[in-house]
Structure 1
Amino acid sequence: MTAELRVLGEVELRVRGFRVEVGHARQRSVLVALVMDANRVVTVDRLLDRVWAQHVPHRARDVVRNYVSRLRRPLAEAGIAVERRSGGYVLHVDPDSVDVHRFHRLVDDARAATDDEHAAATFEQALGLWRGEAFAGLDTPWLDTVRQVLDQDRFGAEADRIDVELRRGGHAALLPTLRARATEHPLDERVAAQYMLALYRAGRQADALTEFDRVRTRLADEFGADPGPSLRSLHRQILTSAPSLTPTATAPTPVPRQLPALPTSFAGRSAELDALDARPGAISTIGGPGGIGKTSLAVSWAYRHLDRFPDGQLFVDLRGFSPDSTPMDPAVAVRGFLTALGVEPSRVPSDAHAQAALYRSLVADRRMLVVLDNALDAAQVEPLLPGGGTCTVVVTSRSRPAGVITGHGARHLALDVLSDGEARELLTRRLGTSQVAAEPAAVAELTALGGGFPLVLSIIAGWAHTWPELSLSALAAELRDGALHDDDPTASLSTVLSWSHRALTTEQAAVFGLLGTAPGPDLSLAAAAALTGMPAASARAALRALEQVSLLTRDRAGRYRMHDLIRRYATDTSPAHLSPSDQDAALRRLADFYLHTARTGDALLEPGTSPFTLDRSAGQPLGSRADALAWFEAEHASLLATQHAAAAHGWHEVVWRLAWTLKTFHHWRGHLYDDLESWRVALVAADHLGDPMAQALSHRFLGRAQIKVHRHEEALLHLEQARVLSERIGDRANLALAHQALAWAWELSGEDVRALEHAVRALELHTALDDRVREAGSLNNVGWYLARLGRYEEARSHCEAALVLQRGLDHRYGAAHTLDSLGYIHHRLGDYRAAVDHYEQALVLYRDVGYSYAEADTLDHLGASHAALGRHADARDAWQEALRLFRAQERTSDADRVQGDLDGLLVR
């Protein structure tokens, strides 16, 4: 039975193509209210608001129950269930059977596609779902709002499809459509730009310039504003017949090199290496118990054939069997791959399916290696498999991912223990040829004791290095009484680890146990000292002792890491040396170390007030912004893991404060989804604390995080909640910041008037609070929104007042922002010399504080002002430097636009 729920154009249910009656208008409104939130609980209160609004019926809940009951029969005929949940109802349906959800999914897929032919076809499929006005015949305030949003989504999808068709050379066929859109939307600069470009490519340069003059005149008459920089840039290029107006190939994607270091003790496995050699462009899975050498095989084989993968190598540890963390969500791995492939955070789709589609599009037809290490099962692997047949994929797992083998044609290699010859080769690599040759009998015994298990043999070799005064024969005698099991690698490992453990001092054994419980993938020396409560020198000595017996490894950056099997052994044996209270105290020391150091680092990145104070001497000293950034980069995974560990222990204050200290780093480095998750956890902690201020702040920063991943509706809900909470508790400082965040949200939604309203309210509050730093920032914000609305004289007055304050406070970061705003205002007023002066001052300050992201934008603006003055050499210098930064920051669209400006200068 095939069923389809339609809501675009008309509200109906179809089964096998035949319409099924679902009742009168109110009944259909209830259906829409459930369908729009398919597979999610819709509360009764929300249903009442959506369907009845201000006219709630008598005994409303009974009425809702009756309407839902009447819906169940026709829905059941289609195999669709409506389930009663606590507080509401949920309609279970395949989202692709609902055309509104299918529309959004197809649009996301089209936007993620890198192949224009595929993108065009997908856009056509999405837009073909529309059949007139959405929800025809239904009229409620909520439906009117949703209808408007859907119309905007449709308009945006149509514009994106036109961009694709223009790239494909379809300008002539688009002219009638674009003429009609330009007439219907005379002030839409994107529509104007598309129409101008189509006219120019059709050989109608004069008409394209006339269209620009029409838009410029209309903007000036109605708003006193000029066209934006993008439309002006296109106008300049049309005037000069710039070569960039001819479609060109996109910039090359960065070549990722993510393989870990080449294993130094890899030996044998010739048959498995040959098997991997024989399957280029295929999927191979490598299975076997932990420590059998799966990762070493995959990485060693990859290094032998780097020439096969000129387009790069992707590697991710999926943590399928890691004792210190849950398996990685495939969506997190996809986002990591997108970053490695050069996708800037702002261009990552918000939907996980669209992210995976973009990843597959980026690696299609490329000769790459993808290593998916330590996978849990096929469900974790399948979203990470590239399409096409040019990429080679190697999956390692302790389980046998049957779905990958049967569903994707993967060849499975089951690793067994090493042969005696391969085990001898491994020991030779670790101990040296002369030592092995000098004691062949002892080597044979050690090989047998190791049971052919690579990790066991490596630990035995570590013992030999630790006690060089012992001959191999003496070492074998020391181990002989334990009699390793050559038919059970896991038992062999456990036995060897027990010998290593017995050899540790009491202090070293306690350190070993604590390391096994530490959150995160690795530890610095300073963090290990905090965990153990030892001075750094003592901690270093203990770590060195563990490293010497191969219970611990240290990478090139000096960070310590345990194999996950050794970590599990450490956790299992720690009760013999550590009580639960000892372990909790150690974890709390580590959490406090991370929190105190992160607080210091955050203050260096963004000086200002904080809702809490900490003793900075309790953490690791950081002397500069560069030190802070380097520390956050190194400790980021451990900080996130510690936040989750603190949540598990109910340390809600630590959870909330860690989110606060990570916010600036997440913003500067574009860790959008980590920021989102961090504040989600923090909001739960704030609710447990029952602290209204923490709740208000959590809502505000969660709202900001939602904005950055384009979830504007959710963002506005959280920001409004932050505003309400701050107002309720009389916290005017945070109320002002909530208004400031709401201004940003409305700006990004294209609502500059509403943005200005909130910016003005933030300014009023900061002024009343006598917070001079934030008052200055708010003055600049108000000036910026006034300028965006074309009210330039008012804008300049506000920004100049802000600059006076910021210079008096020596607030260079804020002054740089204000100078950039003043440059924008003077440029729009036609005073290009003043614009240049302000932009150049802003550049000095941005470079002084190391904010290269904003520096690139200001260089771009500076180039435009130089060009307006006819200073083409200066414009070229500014744009070339902006282009270099945009490319380094992987801001592709900005780089393409500036390259177009540079191309336009070349023909002068």
Structure 2
Amino acid sequence: MDRGMEFRVLGAVEVRAGGRVVPAGEPRQRAVLAVLLLEAGRPVALETLIGRVWGETAPPGARRSIYAYVARLRRVLGDATDQPLIRTSGGYLLDADPQQVDVLWFRTLLARGEARAALDLWQGEPLSGVGGVWADRIRETLWDEHAAAVVAWAHTEIRDGRAETVLAPLTELAEQRPMFEPATEALIRALHAAGRPSDALIRYDRIRRLLRDELGADPGPALQAAHQVVLSNDPAVVTIRPVPAQLPADVPAFTGRAAELAELDRPGTPPIVCLTGTPGAGKTALAVHWAHRARDRFPDGQLYVNLRGFDPEQPVTPMEALGTLLAAVLPQGRAAPAGLDERAAQYRTQLAGRRMLVVLDNAATVEQVRHLLPGAPTCAVLVTSRDSLAGLVSVHGARRIPLDVLTQPAAAGLLRELVGDRVTREPAAAAMLVEQCARLPLALRIAAELAASRPDATLRALTTELAGQRRLDLLSDGGDPRAAVRAVFSWSLRHLPAAAVDLFALLGLHPGPWIDTLAAAALSGRPVRESLAALTRAHLIHRLADDRYGLHDLLRAYAAERAADGPAALARLYDHYLGAASAAMQVLYPGEAGRRPPVTATGPVPDFAEPETARDWLHTELPNLTAIAVHAAAHQAPAVTVRLAAILYRYLDGDQHSAAVVVFETARSAARDLGDEPGEAYALNALAYTYAQEGRHPVAIERLEEALRLSSRGGDEVGEARALGNLAMIEEQLGRYESAAQRFEQALHRFRRLGDRTGEAHVRTRLASVEARLGHVGTARGHAERALAMHQRSGHRFGEAWALNSLSEVESRSGRHAVAADGHRQALALFRELGHRSSQAWTLDSLGAQERRLGRHGRAREHHQQALDIFDDLGERFGQASALNGLGETYAACDDHERALTSYRRAFELAVGTGARDQQARALAGLGEGEAEPDH
């Protein structure tokens, strides 16, 4: 975007570039632009855009209309390489500097005390040309801000001896807003300073009568003070208003929060900011630290009140808080009125036109702070709360800055500040201590005090003690209830419904890093949406993305110790994940349903309408599924682990090698504990396949031989056939094609006798490739065609894709490279639909070879490189060697011998490491040390 571009809403909604107006489209398109400009720098949800543009009468096609308006606005805004209108999750964000947007720059200048410059930005009726309820409400708010700016400018001019300059604008404002006391107060002072006391007294009498007739109220203290100035007939007399400085002491050793501090410092930040976050995250510390840093911006004073919203004591009422605040700002000797509304009105009057900071600490609800908000845009309000305070954001336009736990470097830095050289001497123990405190500043400070009380003990000894069950007890800071971690957490629960408290306790039992609504419902045994919302608002859990929630380690420990229904809740949770995983695999791999253990879901599972939905769920939930497998084995439910591993087999063999090793090793041990030899053999087969993909052939062969012994001993022919087929696959990878063919035939014989058509088709697919490499093209074609037909009949798309690859290899051996390439492309499309990355990489590698044989070297190089990138990502060394050989052969065909030699050398090193003799031969042939280039 042209950074010289300007955006205007303080008048007609306009875009200006190079001094000229760029058409912003029809009224509703301008309304979309206006919404995005007033929220510049913050994402705006699509539903919010629709609601503000159409109100409650949005037509059915509103969503499509928004898309069209945004597309046109992007064209208006120009260069797509620096496009400021950005698509976000669920909405849009306009990335513009505050100086480019007149309303943001107006607020920034006003906060700096440059009211005259701020007023110069106004061009007339704000949001001119934009209609609707939202636009009308925003216009009213903007005119309020304009009025406050006029008053602020007027006070400055009066103090500087230029009272005559403000008489006309103040008179106009007072006539437009006859009951806006700050305007009349300023006008009375200006008239008095300009030598017109009689006019000033007339103005005072007029507003006094108006207030009495319309509201039954007397003029506020500021107006009365201005009246006394006139009656004294001394132009030098001013009402002395105190300049409060109520901030608590700055937090010692404050560390981190650079991003949050930058957000607070950002020009254009709204007058109200909410710092929200989990207990112990350091909300008060950040608020007080920033307030001290920014105090020069608020020369008229800084107010602070602790609302004690979550303290064990009674929260401060708005009435009490206003009494405290007014005591700090009222002229000496004046008392606060008796009623709540009267106090709030007087509070707003006292702060009008003044540049003050108000820190409202530890708020429980929006209602507790609503009456404490100044009406003047020259004042800033900083609210801290464990609640999300949604009403302040939606109704009062506040900006919410959520505080998560500290980053690891920031947490380590805080610990170093608190503990000193002991952190440097024991970096590993310090890092562990940081994680044991969940990177919460409160816990870190308590732990630092604990370390300070034991100067002769090592940090390692402290971490060992904290690793036990007494961690929450140790983090108690000498019994101070406001510092004890457990007590602080408990205060957050006091105001929650019983169902939310019960759910919080059960969430501590979940072994994974997050939980979604369906899993939480399974854990609880009842609907949980309202409870999750309540816990989120209280920051006892945090929303991650979409429908997922997490909680920090110390909160998890605190929750778990409160859980009363552990075994039954865990049983429901295990059943949920088994059912959901089974449903996802059924959508992705329906042809292998008979090879997975049957599962009947006892509760709701996600709706996997499309393969993409199922694949995304598996990718997202893999950490949870892995944690469930490990947790079940360790908590008297080993059968759950064995079944879950068998359900996930095909998914895990694609690109999840690390998780596969954890799940299958755990399943192997669990099956052994159960005396389940078929289950143990299944896990050993799965482990071997994973190790083979990584090029760890000796380990893979060892696992398979053990699986074969177990299966043979127990008469498990299915297990025998799987082990023989996987041994054959390794022989194939190592280039031992005769031996591989014999083992495949043995496996094929068993699968056919068992009537396992899926197993038979898998073996025929691999056997076709081996027979083709042995030169038995006719036999190979028969196996490949039969495997393809079997998989297509059963709807097994994964098997169908591999059969297409084998048939394509046969076609290539017959010299039909174009037909082979088409077959590989069909297979690639299926693997991409399934999300099976390892298979995608092998297919890309084979497709690259066909493109090279067809003379399309650019495409060949692209396919081999894509394959190599995936193999690198997965750590599949055997595949890396094959893709590098393919690149070497392609570079050689283009006479790029230097790159060819580099690729061949890397391929040879990897092939030697994996023992793959055919890949070694390909590399040596390319390096000129073999007799000829072997066929791929």
Which of the five TM-score ranges fits, normalised by the shorter chain? Answer: 0.3 to 0.5
TM-score (norm 2): 0.45
Larger RCO, structures 1/2 (Cα 8 Å, 6+ apart) = 1
**Larger Cα-atom Rg:** 2
TM-score (norm 1): 0.46
